[in-house]
């Protein structure tokens, strides 16, 4: 049986979320625990199934994950890096290959390209001849440095991300082909001087769907081993910010480059179409008010405060409006406010109290709003998340309910709202309420669109604002669309040759 080392480091940085991420923001696993982290629904599960088909044994080492949040402390990354590499070093002499599950958009206060650093450190550890496969999020910040470490790179094909298992399996398929000698993978890529907020990245409809359809046609070519588009975490203030296309071919470097360039041209042609236009709060609430009582729920997406995009979740723009202008039928909203959760816990279920809620973490975007209500639920904030799959812990959590039917779910730590498990955890069924607020920049649609009467993305401020030029970007190389009206050369020149299997690279 062929043995392959397995390691994972999963974190997505939002450069505009205040604060800094430390070790306390990460969850850890070692050894066989890696197979349990994602409830059998993540990339590692897909990789394990594919490995079994190819007679490969995955040897789990270490994993650390923190989902999304502010820039990571440099000292924290140094410890994460050492743990990651030490785990791989311990099995180096007993494995023939490596599989790494990474996000692709982690940045620290002194390292813009964490994944590029990790990949090259892993390459140095194992030498030039050991194949290294890596799977990344569709929002990977793909860099020139990453491209030279290994040709075995795959990314999600979906947004919302519903192909985690398939992506892990694709990574193993590339690895198996390389290990067996059946193929000699070569990677070519093209970086594009464009970006857009993630609401415009939907692969099931709209302009990106057309590009993904062409990508899948390309993969049907027997000389093409895999292909990905990386639409980057858009709220990442780094020099190489921009979209990228990646194609992995069998020996044929020129084919890989031609196809990467074709995909890049398709994305560039859609540069304006992917800029998402949101609905004003006035217009969204007018649509709710004019609807019949049976029309529910209206899912109002507050993407600018999206916790799964790294924001803190302490925005209360919609809550403040609903408190001042109530709407019949019940409203569910989530706010990160540790002090508010503690106050509710101390008061106890059934207590009546008034709080100044929200705006405590991101004061540059939000101000607190005053709410008076009854504490209707208290819990520990632990539940099983379906998307992303795994155990969630948002800390002590309370529900404060107003007489007008506004239910504020107050969490101690930020809560991803890509699925509705938090609502169910506190005993509130989103299908029975007129308005359900989700703090998500597009990704919520996989779970919420099937149950919604209508989904409306509302225009609000925040660290994940879809209007990217309004945010204080400092580092990206310019010109860059949509920051600049004119981008004379949309494609970045490849300054160093991308990676190829050392056993062969054809023309």
Q: Flag whether 66 is in a domain.
A: yes
360 and 268 belong to one structural domain: no
Give kind and range of the element (H or E) at residue 345.
helix 338-347
Half-sphere exposure of 35 (CA within 13 A, CB side): 11
Contact 172, 50 (CB under 8 A): yes
Domain range for 426 = 281-465
Question: Residue 9: phi, psi to the nearest 5?
Answer: -140, 115
Q: Flag whether 121 is in a domain.
A: yes
Last residue of a domain, one of 274, 303, 328: 274
Residues 38-49 as b or e (16 or more Cβ within 10 Å = b): beebbbbbbbbe
Residues 6+ apart with CB under 8 A from 238: 15, 107, 112, 113, 141, 475, 476
CA gap 225, 333 in Å, rounded: 44
17 and 80 belong to one structural domain: yes
Q: Flag whether 494 is in a domain.
A: no
pLDDT value at residue 505: 44
48 and 157 belong to one structural domain: yes
CA gap 412, 339 in Å, rounded: 8
Written as one string, the DSSP assignment of 485-507 is S--S--EE---SPPPB-TT--B-
331 and 424 belong to one structural domain: yes
pLDDT value at residue 206: 85
Q: Flag whether 476 is in a domain.
A: no
Last residue of a domain, one of 221, 256, 274: 274
Residues 6+ apart with CB under 8 A from 449: 299, 455
Q: Flag whether 224 is in a domain.
A: yes
CA gap 493, 70 in Å, rounded: 30
CA gap 407, 432 in Å, rounded: 12
Q: Flag whether 256 is in a domain.
A: yes
Q: Flag whether 429 is in a domain.
A: yes
331 and 296 belong to one structural domain: yes
301 and 253 belong to one structural domain: no
What is the edge-to-edge ordering of all strands in the sheet holding 435-438?
Answer: 352-357, 369-379, 397-401, 406-411, 331-336, 435-438, 298-301, 454-457
CA gap 247, 262 in Å, rounded: 10
pLDDT value at residue 88: 98
Tell me the β-bridge partners of 76.
none
Q: List alpha helices for 191-248, DSSP H.
A: 206-219
Last residue of a domain, one of 242, 274, 306: 274
DSSP code at position 194: B
64 and 185 belong to one structural domain: yes
346 and 266 belong to one structural domain: no
- CATH, residue 72: 3.40.50.2300
296 and 265 belong to one structural domain: no
Low-confidence ranges of the chain (pLDDT < 70): 495-498, 501-507
259 and 297 belong to one structural domain: no
Q: Model pTM?
A: 0.94
Tell me the β-bridge partners of 5.
59, 98
232 and 302 belong to one structural domain: no
Specify whether the backbone of 45 is left (phi greater than 0), alpha (psi in -120 to 50) or beta: alpha
Q: For residue 160, is the peptide bond before it cis, meaning its omega torsion is within 30 degrees of 0?
A: yes
pLDDT value at residue 500: 72
79 and 14 belong to one structural domain: yes
Contact 316, 461 (CB under 8 A): no
CA gap 449, 175 in Å, rounded: 36
pLDDT value at residue 507: 37
Number of domains making up the chain: 2
Q: Flag whether 502 is in a domain.
A: no
Largest CA distance in the chain: 74
CA gap 92, 257 in Å, rounded: 33
């Amino acid at each position: 049986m062929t043995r392959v080392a397995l390691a994972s480091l999963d974190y997505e940085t939002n450069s505009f979320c205040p604060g800094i991420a430390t070790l306390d923001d990460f969850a850890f696993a070692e050894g066989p625990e890696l197979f349990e982290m994602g409830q059998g629904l993540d990339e590692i599960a897909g990789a394990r199934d594919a490995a079994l088909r190819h007679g490969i044994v995955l040897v789990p080492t270490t994993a650390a994950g923190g989902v999304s949040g502010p820039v990571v402390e440099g000292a924290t990354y140094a410890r994460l890096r050492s743990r990651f590499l030490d785990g791989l070093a311990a099995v180096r002499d007993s494995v023939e290959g490596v599989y790494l599950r990474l996000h692709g958009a982690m940045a620290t206060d002194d390292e813009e390209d964490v994944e590029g650093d990790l990949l090259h450190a892993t390459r140095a550890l194992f030498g030039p001849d050991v194949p290294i496969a890596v799977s990344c999020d569709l929002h990977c910040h793909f860099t020139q440095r990453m491209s030279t470490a290994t040709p075995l790179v795959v990314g999600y094909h979906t947004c919302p991300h519903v192909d985690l298992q398939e992506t892990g399996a694709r990574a193993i398929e590339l690895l198996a082909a390389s290990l067996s000698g059946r193929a000699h993978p070569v990677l070519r890529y093209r970086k594009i001087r464009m970006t857009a907020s993630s609401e415009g990245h939907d692969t099931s409809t709209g302009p990106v769907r057309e590009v993904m359809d062409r990508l899948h046609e390309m993969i049907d070519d027997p000389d093409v081993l895999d292909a990905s588009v990386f639409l980057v975490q858009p709220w990442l203030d780094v020099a190489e910010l921009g979209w990228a296309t990646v194609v992995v071919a069998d020996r044929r470097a020129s084919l890989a480059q031609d196809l990467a360039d074709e995909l890049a041209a398709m994305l560039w042609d859609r540069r304006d179409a992917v800029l998402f236009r949101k609905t004003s709060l006035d217009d969204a609430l007018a649509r709710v008010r004019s609807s019949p009582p049976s029309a529910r729920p209206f899912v109002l997406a507050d993407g600018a405060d999206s916790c799964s995009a790294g924001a803190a979740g302490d925005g209360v723009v919609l809550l403040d409006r609903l408190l001042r202008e109530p709407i019949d039928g019940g409203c569910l909203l989530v706010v990160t406010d540790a002090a508010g959760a503690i106050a509710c816990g101390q008061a106890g279920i059934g207590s009546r109290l008034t709080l100044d809620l929200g705006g405590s973490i991101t004061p540059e975007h939000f101000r607190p709003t005053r709410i008076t209500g009854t504490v209707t639920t208290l819990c520990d904030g632990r539940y099983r998340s379906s998307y992303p799959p795994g155990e969630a812990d948002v800390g002590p959590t309370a529900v404060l309910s107003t007489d007008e039917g506004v239910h504020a779910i107050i969490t101690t730590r930020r809560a991803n709202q890509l699925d509705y498990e938090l609502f169910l955890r506190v005993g509130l069924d989103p299908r029975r309420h007129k308005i359900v607020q989700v703090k998500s920049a597009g990704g919520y649609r996989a779970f919420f669109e099937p149950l919604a009467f209508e989904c409306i993305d509302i225009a609000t401020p925040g660290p994940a604002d879809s209007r990217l030029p309004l945010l204080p970007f400092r580092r990206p190389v310019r010109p860059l669309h949509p920051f600049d009206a004119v981008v004379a050369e949309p494609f970045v020149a490849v300054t160093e040759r991308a990676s190829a299997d050392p056993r062969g690279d054809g023309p």
